[in-house]
Amino acid sequence: MAKTFEVTILGVNSAYPIHGRHPSCQIVNYDNRLIMIDCGEAAQIQVSKYSIKRSKINHIFISHLHGDHCYGLPGLLSSYGLQGRKSTLNLHGPIGIKKFVEGIFEATEAYLPFELNILEYDTEEQSTVVIDSSITVETFPMKHRIPTMGFKIIETIPEFNIKVDAIKEFEMSIEEIKGAKIGNSIIRDGVEIANSKLTFPKKDGRSYAYCSDTVYDPDLLPYIMNSSLLYHETTYLDDHESLAKERMHTTLGQAIEIAKAAKIEKLIVGHYSSRYQDIDVFLEEGLPKFSGLMLGEEGRVYEV
């Protein structure tokens, strides 16, 4: 049975809270291990509203240091301190995030009773973060007005699935079964039985790609190709393509082009401009072009 792999959107607006929507924040749940992506204003309020177990969040990834993606951090981290958190919290972000966080805590004389491990990344380079044996996060460069990176959360399938018939046919011992699951062969009557005869081919793990603020950029394709699910900003509809380019954002049609070129079947759109009170217009305009289009909506859970 496949492990839980899902995304809950907590904030889906651009720039500032309006129309009942909040700035960027998401929770990725993999087998009850939670990763927060971006932490806009009101992130911790949304965490409480949607009953997210904040104690399960051990990694926070920040795409860039515009306020609508990181101004929720001071409040969230301070609340962890007030609640007596003891376990280490890993904060991943672009160069400068350490200065941002430590400057606020120095000015406010905040005290954290837990270890805050701040890791900074060069947004021009691709990096790999191993969360554990089952999941990794890859960072990749994005083109926006300040240094920005996207994320791809990848499920790792460490073991082969054994064929029940092979266990019976070759009378495999417990140790041989364990060995076959990690790729070993077995020997019968001096003849090597290949692992491929004992196990099913490994399937590629599921993956979730997160593309926050970015100009339309086909250079993203190698990093997000064949993702199971893609979130891509669509700040504007296509009639504002010039404005999107000027402000280094993406339109709905451009995000759909990226999804198609990357051979991705499911696309979540979001980071809506405040000019759109009714976001259903994104669905109305986009569905005829891409059947796998889904609106980014706060509180909604998306299966990867």
296's tokens? 């980014």
Rounded alpha-carbon distances, angstroms, from residue 60 to 210, 256, 272: 13, 27, 22
Which residue, chain included where needed, has tokens 């001096």? 190
Q: Give the Cβ contact number of residue 65 at 10 Å.
A: 18
Identity of the residue numbered 246 = E
Residue 68 is a catalytic residue: yes
Which residue, chain included where needed, has tokens 């515009």? 66
Q: How far apart are the first and last CA of the chain?
A: 15
Q: For residues 292 and 289, what is the distance between their CA atoms, to the nearest angstrom?
A: 9
Among 68, 189, 213, 219, the active-site one is 68
Which residue, chain included where needed, has tokens 């120095």? 106
**Sequential DSSP letters for 237-299:** -GGGHHHHHHTT--BHHHHHHHHHHTT-S-EEEE-B-TT-S-THHHHHHHTTT-TTEEE--TT
Q: For residues 46 and 40, what is the distance between their CA atoms, to the nearest angstrom?
A: 10
Q: For residues 149 and 65, what is the distance between their CA atoms, to the nearest angstrom?
A: 10
φ/ψ of 226, rounded to 5, equals 65, 20
Rounded alpha-carbon distances, angstroms, from residue 274 to 18, 64, 292: 7, 20, 24
Q: For residues 2 and 38, what is the distance between their CA atoms, to the nearest angstrom?
A: 26
**Helix, strand or coil, per DSSP, at residue 153:** strand
The residues annotated as belonging to the active site are 68
